[in-house]
Structure 1
């Protein structure tokens, strides 16, 4: 287990009356996991990945979904609690950022959080500093889980609570049964793919940088195509319209805006030769890790959470420059820091990756798959979860004081 911040043994959590006695080391814990695992968005994928790791622990876990509407995101078919124990939890883990607790948690879920002996927030963030509201909220937790060292560093700068790096596990799966043609991939061309959600802010995802780099590379004249898989682009305003116009102007580029099932999305990644991510920041980089797990050559900005698994030994990290936001970008505050990929460097990386594909050299893709299988499998992450949960349980008292009635009261 990796952690930053104060030692795990230090301090007393500032929480209210909690159920149960101090946990005895070596026994199975009762874990309440409240998360948007029933939603079709990046947070939902991350929550489902955590659930896959929990199944490899010896703990009893109650899985509780998000019942309330979650922005514009669609619910998955199953929205129901999965119960493996009765009574208060030893540890309640809420996999929602602090600003989402009040609008998304039900009264019953708040009761689960209040009755637990220890409370953990599982957060992800994309700037080098966290919002002030987070800094006020975190002292009421016993610990924070976050999926990358980038996130951990940002959070730890604002709190003395333990911050544990628990990566999102990635399953190295066999090729999907769905055919690439069913996903809208035009046949007969080499493909560079980038997948992103329009509600995740185009200023952060920065697909226009990839459009510019692909055009500069000349790969379109060599039988390559750039595919952008997106959704919710109608919510991206002028930036979304400009992106669509740029893609429409080049016959070697295409947009896939239809909703794909998870097996179809897997087939789309499988059909690609290169996965590219020109992001300004990723709290983790799920799509990058998923492409690596499929043995793809990955070209990505060398910034954010993806640095935990993508380096020159298994892909193409691309040079970038640090920038400070000059205005608010949705939830991202003016003055916060992320990075902008260098277009010439991105162009060069695409050309180098394409040359390997054309030569039939997939050694970097093989190394990428091995990296994910070794360090980021559900089994590997379960071991990190076990170490974290044991440490949290060991330092949790039988009772404390001042549990929050809601996030807004902090």
Structure 2
């Protein structure tokens, strides 16, 4: 569960030391092993932020559900507390079971080595290990490149991620999008009640980089589209505000007391989040870059018209003809978030706020057309996700690395 303010303060003070150990000591002392791909995959161990409300936590839980439905035995190791991310979110906890044929480390590479130690180094050394990495830029930071030595293969949620990671290694890098489920339908009368306002929704976690999620641009676009009109409403659903008070204050400053913009900072369960999505007339994401776009996929599967920056991993799940893409310019990347430490020569998108406002007005002016487009996107995306699942990704890795043949060391080094 969430820790006390005193404990959080102590952990913040210790972070520079922890990062130094993680970056400079653990890579030197941790052993590496190369494993042949198992002849059959019956049991899988999933290591991740399983009790966290973050996108990383949700994607790991989706992985567990997908593997279970595919008939795999699944054991789990939750390392959320190690990163002060335990929000008490429920997950199918299975601490013990048959030895795993494959382990999937469903977390960022910066978390990999501490998580291996917490989850069990002996198990890691005898198990074929796969990293599931969602990255948002075209180049990798040094710590991500170094982490390639400690996994046998990598799964990624989009072709954008695949191209980024594959440039640094000859190990298998395969695409398996987050297996987002289509939510149960919610009647309009239940989702909206008596509220007839045009509602725009955006959902994100502040720990996922404030600048990348770009909520200020979303606020600007909404205000450019509808001003102070009481017939429209923007709902910003965030979490982790207590851990990122400065970023939350920047959102409040951008809202500037606008009565038609509502900020919700809380951890909600899936049913509550799906209820909020069901109440939306449009979902807005003016991200500068996405590895996948988990909330975009959830909105699309809920049949909500999607307005999104037309760049990066989100284009796999938001083809422009089925959503409301937002124009952008590619600009030099600049983000002080610790996740991007050491990154060079990167770029990301700067979405066109005026074009986003125009797309929001289009949806409001032609709701029947917008809903028809959203239904087409929902059908297309459900079929796309069904074609690209974890079982298929494991089969693709097996095809690239025949059983019983140890993998070559590969090309795990930064590009010149």
TM-score by length of 1: 0.83
Task: Select between 217-226 and 386-395 the one with higher mean Cα deviation.
Answer: 386-395
Aligned to 1:49: 62
Taking the aligned partners of 1:326 and 1:399, their CA distance within structure 2 comes to 37
Aligned to 2:384: 375
Residue aligned with 1:195, SS: strand
Preserved contact between residue 90 and residue 393 of structure 1 (Cα < 8 Å): no
TM-score by length of 2: 0.81
Residue 151 in structure 1 maps to residue 161 in structure 2: yes
Aligned to 2:351: 341
Per-residue deviation at 1:107? 4.7
Aligned to 1:6: none
- Among residues 78, 88, 92, which one is paired with 1:65 in the alignment? 78
What root-mean-square deviation, in Å, do the aligned CA atoms of Structure 1 and Structure 2 show?
Answer: 2.9
Taking the aligned partners of 1:258 and 1:277, their CA distance within structure 2 comes to 19
- CA change 1:356–1:210 in 2 (3 A) is same
Residue aligned with 1:227, SS: strand
Taking the aligned partners of 1:300 and 1:108, their CA distance within structure 2 comes to 37
For CA contacts below 8 A with separation 6 or more, give which structure has more relative contact order: 1
Aligned to 2:374: 365
Residue aligned with 2:395, SS: helix
Residue aligned with 1:39, SS: coil
Q: Which has the higher helix share?
A: 2
Preserved contact between residue 326 and residue 334 of structure 1 (Cα < 8 Å): no
Structure 2, unmatched stretches of 5+, are 1-30, 410-416
Residue aligned with 2:339, SS: coil
Task: Select between 380-389 and 302-311 the one with higher mean Cα deviation.
Answer: 380-389
Corresponding residue pairs, total:
376
- Among residues 128, 135, 139, which one is paired with 1:129 in the alignment? 139
Preserved contact between residue 183 and residue 302 of structure 2 (Cα < 8 Å): yes
Per-residue deviation at 1:157? 1.6
Per-residue deviation at 1:372? 1.9
Residue 276 in structure 1 maps to residue 284 in structure 2: yes
Structure 1, unmatched stretches of 5+, are 1-13, 402-410
Taking the aligned partners of 1:76 and 1:193, their CA distance within structure 2 comes to 22
Taking the aligned partners of 2:132 and 2:349, their CA distance within structure 1 comes to 24
- Among residues 122, 129, 140, which one is paired with 1:111 in the alignment? 122
Aligned to 1:267: 275
Per-residue deviation at 1:368? 1.4
Alignment of 1:275-294 (within 5 A): 275-294=283-302
Aligned to 1:243: 251
Task: Select between 171-180 and 343-352 the one with higher mean Cα deviation.
Answer: 171-180
Preserved contact between residue 32 and residue 149 of structure 2 (Cα < 8 Å): no
